[in-house]
Amino acid sequence: MKRKNHNDDINRRRFLQIGATFAASAIFLPLSANKGFGALPSYQADNSIPSLKLNNGIEMPMLGFGTNTLNGPTCVRCVSDAISVGYRLIDTANIYGNEEFVGEGIKQSGIKREKLFITSKLWVDDYGYESTKKAFETSLNKLGIEYLDLYLIHRPRGDVKGSWKAMEELYKEGKIRAIGVSNFEPEQLDDLMADAKIKPALNQIETHVFFQQHNSYKALKKYEIQMEAWSPFAAGRNGIFTNQILADIGKKYNKSIAQVCLRWHYQRGIVAIPRSSQKAHMIENLDIFDFELSKTDMKTIAKLDLNITQFPEWE
């Protein structure tokens, strides 16, 4: 019951926000300008994972499955397992070198394409107008699918604007249901949006209890751009899975540290894409919709913020 109320709240808020955005920002294309969009089947939510609406009106699950570092037969098995236990949002990227294996896992799951929400990302080497179009087709071919639900510019470097123009066209042609970015700071979004015809639907950034991204959180809310957390467990760094504060909070609800972390993301309205190679963990990570962290617990978790990346090697 609580889950439904929370989700309804998010949807209501989003509805009001989207209305306000379209009233306020005439520079971006209205939905009707996207001629190709109607040609694609919509994502059909069919299970217990709540969804939200992106700023172009399409529905997206609030919890998904990450695939970075999964490769070969392990990746095939993990993606197929993840879908079998209920995940519908699958996150991959050209640079992970696993799109074929993700595609094979999807195929082996036997699920209908329209039940899934598939994200991939354009890598830096392919930035620029022409290269983006080619890279997009390569990703589709590797994944063995006809369209992407979400395509992201992986990092804010190089000819981002040339890539964005190509992505806007692919979107208008109906080959992608939503376009967005990853690892963009608010100022980099400002710069992109200064010339964009279509506003990014989403920004995927490092977010976890040790790096809570308050600045981006506020800016993305203001822009009506959905925030998505990569490494929602900080990939296990900084002792997250043995953190006593998170363990004590979990005990109150009979939940694990992983579940507390994912519930915290969900209550902030952030989409999270945890990765796991173990089916038991995949199941555990989905089981977060039957409890609610109290305001006090949310405040306690807020104090864990170190406001610094846990992945300095990627800076």
Ligand X SMILES: NC(=O)c1ccc[n+]([C@@H]2O[C@H](COP(=O)([O-])OP(=O)(O)OC[C@H]3O[C@@H](n4cnc5c(N)ncnc54)[C@H](OP(=O)(O)O)[C@@H]3O)[C@@H](O)[C@H]2O)c1
Interacting residue with ligand X among 88, 165, 177, 275 (CB under 6 A)? 275
By CB under 6 A, residue 230 contacts ligand X: yes
Interacting residue with ligand X among 99, 149, 224, 284 (CB under 6 A)? 284
The type of residue at 275 is: R
Catalytic residue (choose from 96, 127, 151, 266): 96
In 3-state terms, what secondary structure has residue 59?
strand
By CB under 6 A, residue 265 contacts ligand X: no
Residue 15 CB, nearest approach to ligand X (Å): 28
By CB under 6 A, residue 266 contacts ligand X: no
# chain residues binding ligand X, by CB under 6 A: 26
- What Rg, from alpha-carbon coordinates, does the chain have? 18
Residue 276 CB, nearest approach to ligand X (Å): 3
Count CB atoms within 10 A of the CB of residue 171: 23
Distance CA 300, CA 40 (A): 43
Distance CA 313, CA 315 (A): 6
In the bound state with ligand X, the residue whose beta carbon lies nearer, of 55 and 285, is: 285
Interacting residue with ligand X among 80, 98, 226, 276 (CB under 6 A)? 276
Which alpha helices (DSSP H) does 86-207 contain, by range?
99-109, 129-143, 160-172, 186-195
Size of the chain, expressed as the number of residues it contains: 315
**Measured at CB, which residue is nearest to ligand X?**
66
Bridge partners, residue 118, by sequence: 90
In the bound state with ligand X, the residue whose beta carbon lies nearer, of 28 and 241, is: 241
Distances (CA, A) of 283 to 87, 141, 227, 275: 9, 30, 24, 12
Bridge partners, residue 178, by sequence: 150
In the bound state with ligand X, the residue whose beta carbon lies nearer, of 10 and 229, is: 229
By CB under 6 A, residue 128 contacts ligand X: no
Q: Which of residues 164-183 bind ligand X (CB under 6 A)?
A: 182-183
Cβ(52)–Cβ(226) below 8 Å: yes
Respond yes or no: is residue 151 known to be catalytic. no
By CB under 6 A, residue 19 contacts ligand X: no
Q: Which of residues 63-82 bind ligand X (CB under 6 A)?
A: 66-68
Distance CA 16, CA 236 (A): 37
Where do contacts with ligand X occur on this chain (CB under 6 A)? 66-68, 91, 182-183, 204, 230-236, 241, 256, 258, 273-278, 281, 284-285
Query: Which active-site residues does the annotation give?
Result: 96
